[in-house]
Structure 1
Amino acid sequence: MIARREYTLANAHSFVGQELAVTDWVFVDQVQANVFGEVTRWAHWMHSDPQRCEAESPYGGAIMHGFMMVSLITHFLELADLRPSDGSRSLNYGMDKVRVLRPVVIGEGVRLRDRIRLLDVNDKGDGKRLFKTGHQIEADDGDTPAVYVEYLNYWFP
């Protein structure tokens, strides 16, 4: 996490290429995965029926929705407190790259965390900046990243 030097809209360029934070672990369980499936209208049995998954899926249990892990990015950014000190607000702009690299079995619950790197900062006039951050989401059930995302958001002074 950035601790030694103030992180601002004006000096954000100097942090490009650096890992900004590794977040604390966030616990996700089957109930949360089921709610996500209901809200997004994708309550497929591979995500919502652990007993059927144990019997029929190659993973031995229900797996997390890839987009559920992606949707946690804004929460991870808040956990890491990566707001530029002079930024008043931000808006989602999109994503350049999204890869679900492996299935994550929920089991009795799984912990996720995010390694956040600043990839690029573009000036957009009037003090606004477009940030591109790289997010490597890890799960405690394996040794390799589960998801990689390049996330874009606008910051306003």
Structure 2
Amino acid sequence: MADQRKSAIATAQTGDLLGVSEWVTITQQMIDSFSRATLDDDPMHTDPVWAAEKGPFGKTVSYGFLTMSLLTHLMHDAMQEGPACEPEQTGYFLNFGFDRLRLVAPVPVDSRVRGEFRLATRSRDEAGRIRLGVDVVIEIEGAGRPALSALWVVVWVPPEQA
């Protein structure tokens, strides 16, 4: 699988689909764990009763930053590789940041999301690594608008530099 991933990155052209992840369900447990980890207990996300009675969406919704934080998992899944790869044989990605990121629509609790990844740009940096701009969309199953749209910049470190 790592050879597939390397081949897909090496041969991809601007606009090519790099992959689509499997669906992930956003549960209340995930939302609550994220709340604890980030010290943010906003009832719109953590209190189902409050959210149903007073919230703008009728139920709790994922934190936008929780949705964003799933990008690494979704990309690993879409690219059919995981964090246990051997860098000296397969290379690895480094997160470089975002040139653009929008949280387009809220993700209601118990919704399923998936990521779609397309190559937007490719260049070499000063160290000779490959810098990729990846257009990312996180879709919400059955929704008309995506949860997130971004241009994610990653650096691909090939195995000979790992």
CA contact (8 A) 1:105 1:141 kept: no
Give the partner amino acid of 1:34: D
Question: How far has the Cα of 1:99 moved from its partner?
Answer: 0.4
Q: What is the count of residue pairs matched by the alignment? A: 148
Match of residue 140 from structure 2: 139
Match of residue 104 from structure 1: 107
Give 1:31-110 correspondences, 5 Å limit: 31-81=29-79, 87-106=90-109, 109-110=110-111
Cα root mean square deviation, aligned: 2.2
CA contact (8 A) 1:95 1:152 kept: yes
TM-score normalised per structure 1 = 0.85
Identity of matched residues, %? 27
Unaligned runs of 5+ in 2: 82-88
Pick aligned residue for 1:21 from 15, 19, 22: 19
Q: CA separation in 2, counterparts of 1:116 and 1:128?
A: 20
CA contact (8 A) 2:45 2:61 kept: yes
Q: Secondary structure at the match of 2:33?
A: helix
Please state which structure has a larger fraction of its residues in helix: 2
Q: CA separation in 2, counterparts of 1:23 and 1:8?
A: 16
Match of residue 130 from structure 1: 131
Q: 1:128 to 1:113 in 2, by over 3 A?
A: same
Match of residue 149 from structure 1: 150
Q: CA separation in 2, counterparts of 1:100 and 1:143?
A: 14
Q: 1:19 to 1:7 in 2, by over 3 A?
A: closer
Question: How far has the Cα of 1:7 moved from its partner?
Answer: 2.1
Unaligned runs of 5+ in 1: none
CA contact (8 A) 1:87 1:156 kept: no
